Structure 1
Amino acid sequence: MPERDLILREAAKIADALAETFAPICEVVVHDLTNPSHAIVKIENNISGRSVGDPATELGLTRIAKPDFPDKLVNYANRLSDGRVVKSTSIGLRDGANRYVAAICLNVDVSYLNGMADYIRNLTAIKDVEGVSERIQAPRSDDIVKFIRDYALARNKDPKSLNTAEKRDLMAGLQERGLMSLKGSIDEVSKVLGTSRSSIYYYVK
């Protein structure tokens, strides 16, 4: 197989992989620089409207004319015919005689990404509301202990010294805050109050 054909074959494999990886916003093009009038031999994720058989771009022609042209140009600004901005990368492939015979070019539609970025910025935007300070979190067993101790402290008592009426009121407060729906809540409350599980069930009812 001629060296040129071998390079183009391998370039096509790379183009397929890149196109699948970055679909649908990254166009991948393989150019045959030995045939500038019909340079495009493969185009995937077509966003430029070009076709196989179309001629080389100005950059491709420059690469053909200048052997010292850089092997790769990365992330340079480009623009489609409809005005969309794209980010382009061009990689030149040389043969054994150090001549450019092919190129792989990537064109990323950054207008699509910029639109997504604007959406994400709007979605994540927050504002401070005067007088509002809130923290949202799921209740935990530690909250049961804290609520009971705060309740008892407000009455200058130890949790174990609360009377029946206070215990009923305490249980109502725990239920109102959803703390009694936590796993192990009965055991936790009975331990802090120093009373039996059956007594806690009685207060709950």
Structure 2
Amino acid sequence: METADAILDALKQVIPGLAATFGRSCEIVLHDYRRGEQSVVAVAGQVTGRRIGGVTSEIGLRMLAQGDDAHDDLNYVTRTNSGRTVKSSTLPLRDAGGRVFGALCVNLDVTALRQVADLLGDLAGVAPAAPPTTTFTDDFDEVLEAVIRAEELALAKPVDSLTRQERLPLLRALDERGLFTVRGAAPRVAARLGISRASLYTDLAACRTDGQKP
């Protein structure tokens, strides 16, 4: 029976060769979600600047929110904070019992290809669509802020000024985006929203109860 540790150890041996096969534009990142904030356990290549001991991105949080129902997320395109265009695939890792415990992420820097596509689009009179920005960082607080800030922009209102009724949909959205799957996230969210931990846990429980209603 393959254990999670055995699977991770095997992958650590092969990802340098896989990254080298695709060249300097490829990066492969191995995540162990059991490690909480420090989920990155191996990196080969340099595209997003990931390092061992780093945190998952918003994409990883979304996969964590799916739990054991997570599925392969293939060929999605995002943009780093530095402006590089990255095509990625995230593959959940399962132990022998079918439980998701980590992920293998492949990132390809397609900035140059995107620039060519944009040029052709300009010539054809087609406006290129801008890919969403993903926060690749070693600091979980930066990921947390990016997730909350995205919801704050959608609300067009500071999150620390929301009434309880306005706050409940926000917490539901943050929960669905997997923010609370990381240990220690709740107190940080409470501080960002300007409420007590007790209030946050009460409101979050209410959101989850409402979400179970038919």
Using the size of structure 1 for normalisation, the TM-score is 0.52
Higher relative contact order (CA 8 A, sep 6+): 2
1:116 positional shift: 7.5
Partner of 2:24: 24
Task: Tell me which amino acid in the other structure corresponds to 1:3.
Answer: T
Q: Does 1:59 align with 2:55?
A: no
Using the size of structure 2 for normalisation, the TM-score is 0.50
Partner of 2:93: 93
Whether contact under 8 Å (2:30, 2:41) holds in the other structure is yes
1:86 positional shift: 0.7
Identity %: 35
CA–CA distance in 2 between the matches of 1:90 and 1:71? 9
Corresponding residue pairs, total: 120
CA–CA distance in 2 between the matches of 1:51 and 1:30? 10
For structure 2, which runs of at least 5 residues remain unmatched after alignment?
Answer: 121-214
Task: Tell me which amino acid in the other structure corresponds to 2:109.
Answer: D
Q: CA RMSD in A?
A: 2.6
Partner of 1:84: 84
CA–CA distance in 1 between the matches of 2:7 and 2:100? 10
The alpha-carbon distance between structure 1 residues 9 and 116, as it changes in their structure 2 partners (threshold 3 A), is farther
Q: Deviations over 1:12-47 (max 9, x none)?
A: 233222201111001110011111310111111112
Whether contact under 8 Å (1:7, 1:102) holds in the other structure is no
The alpha-carbon distance between structure 1 residues 49 and 38, as it changes in their structure 2 partners (threshold 3 A), is same
For structure 1, which runs of at least 5 residues remain unmatched after alignment?
Answer: 122-205
CA–CA distance in 1 between the matches of 2:16 and 2:69? 25
Q: How does 1:1-205 map to 2 (within 5 A)?
A: 3-114=3-114
Which structure has the larger Rg over C-alpha atoms? 1
Q: Deviations over 1:34-66 (max 9, x none)?
A: 113101111111121221101112222232232
CA–CA distance in 1 between the matches of 2:2 and 2:70? 25
Task: Tell me which amino acid in the other structure corresponds to 1:35.
Answer: R
